Amino acid sequence: MAKTIQVKDLLANTRLEVVQGEEWLNRKIVTADISRPGLEMTGYFDYYAPERVQLMGITETSFAERMNHDELLMIARKMMGEKTPVFVISTGRKLPAEFLKAANESEIPVLATELTSSQILANMTYYLSGELAERQSMHGVLVDLYGLGILITGDSGVGKSETALELVQRGHRLIADDRVDIYQRDEKHLVGEAPAILRNLMELRGVGIIDVLNLFGAGAVRDHSNISFNLHLAKWDKDTKFDRLGNGEDHISIQGVSLPRMVLPVQTGRNLAVLIETAAKNFRAKKMGFDATETFNQNLNKLIEENSKD
């Protein structure tokens, strides 16, 4: 089922104010697409998308000032469709009286802002894209280490939650435990968050469910994060070959986005929290151009060259 939000959610999360229609803020928004109805002002409605948030700025309102009352009222009524969620006016402009009349007839709220059209368009697009994006639920834990979102996966009972708890005690932040809802921010980035019912909560075998926010404070949690890479905890098996040099280029695909992946073997005596911290630091160092594996290869090649001369 497609996700929807209400106009009141948009109002609460962007710099908008109600001009009229406060009693109709429960109208549904079903798409993150936003229309700038310029052509519609001229009477061209062949490709009008009434289900979108309709944004009018200086261009549209200035054009409206050149139109007569009857023509403008006719256009306004055509724009106020049954599916139209809300009209937004930017740059401190005033919506023509004919539009306010048509909006009142169709019970469509009108919101306004002092921000420019470009600014409010960016704000609304960012919010709506995140809220209305298709979610994919994955079993795992999402933590924030040094500003990196690390998706920890692994078999049940391998110690994901216990490791996340130790990371929280070491000053890092929990985003989601047990289940992570993931959506695509754009063609290259994924965002993860906890389902509402599990937000700030963690399940520990033998202890039960704990509230991380109440136990460790607001600095121990985040509501969402970009996902930088996937760290998979695998039970140690002597017959399984694990990457020892860190030069593997393993990836997984989530919602069409390629995500770097590394596998960390779990064995008695290994401090997983310290290893994950080190993996995060090493990942960040590689992004900055410092690759220890490459340095090792260069040193090895240099040694081979020196020995070949002897």
State yes or no: 203 annotated in a binding site: yes
Of 71, 70, 98, 86, which is closest to residue 19 (Cα–Cα)? Answer: 86
Most confident of 54-63, 180-189, 281-290: 54-63
Confirm whether residue 241 is marked as ligand binding.
no
Catalytic residue among 66, 205, 244, 309: 244
Give residue 232's pLDDT band: very low, low, confident or very high (50, 70, 90).
very high
Buried b (16+ CB within 10 A) or exposed e, 102-115: bbeebebbbbbbeb
Percent of the chain with pLDDT over 90: 74
Among 228, 31, 61, CA closest to 131: 31
Give all domains of the chain, ordered by start, each with its CATH number: 5-132 (3.40.1390.20), 136-292 (3.40.50.300)
Nearest alpha carbon to residue 61 among 48, 49, 75, 47: 75
219 marked as binding residue: no
Of these residues, 178, 222, 224, 232, which one is catalytic?
178
Catalytic residue status for 160: yes
Known catalytic residue at 244: yes
Q: What pTM was estimated for this model as a whole?
A: 0.76
Whether the pLDDT of residue 30 is over 90: the answer is yes
pLDDT band at 39 (very low <50, low <70, confident <90, very high): very high
Residue 78, annotated as binding a ligand: no
User: Is residue 158 part of an annotated ligand binding site?
Assistant: yes
Per-chain mean pLDDT for the chain: 89
pLDDT digits (tens, 9 = 90+) for 170-229: 999 999 999 999 999 888 899 999 999 999 999 998 899 999 999 999 999 999 999 999
Catalytic residue selected from 160, 172, 173, 222: 160
155 is in an annotated binding site: yes
Q: Which of 178, 162, 167 is nearest to 143 (CA)?
A: 167
| pLDDT confidence bin for 293, thresholds 50/70/90 | low
Paired with 254 in beta bridges are 257
Integer-rounded Cα radius of gyration of the chain:
26
Q: DSSP string spanning 3-71?
A: --EEHHHHHHHTT-EEEE-GGGTT-EE--S-EE--TGGGGT--TT--TTSEEEE-HHHHHHHTTS-HHH
Report residue 299's pLDDT band, with 50, 70 and 90 as the boundaries: low
Q: Is 70 a catalytic residue?
A: no
Q: Phi and psi for 157 in degrees, rounded to 5?
A: 85, 5
Asked if 189 and 149 touch (Cβ cutoff 8 Å), the reply is no
Residue 59 token pair: 């261009």
Catalytic residue among 139, 189, 251, 287: 139
Query: Does 2 or 29 have the greater pLDDT score?
Result: 29
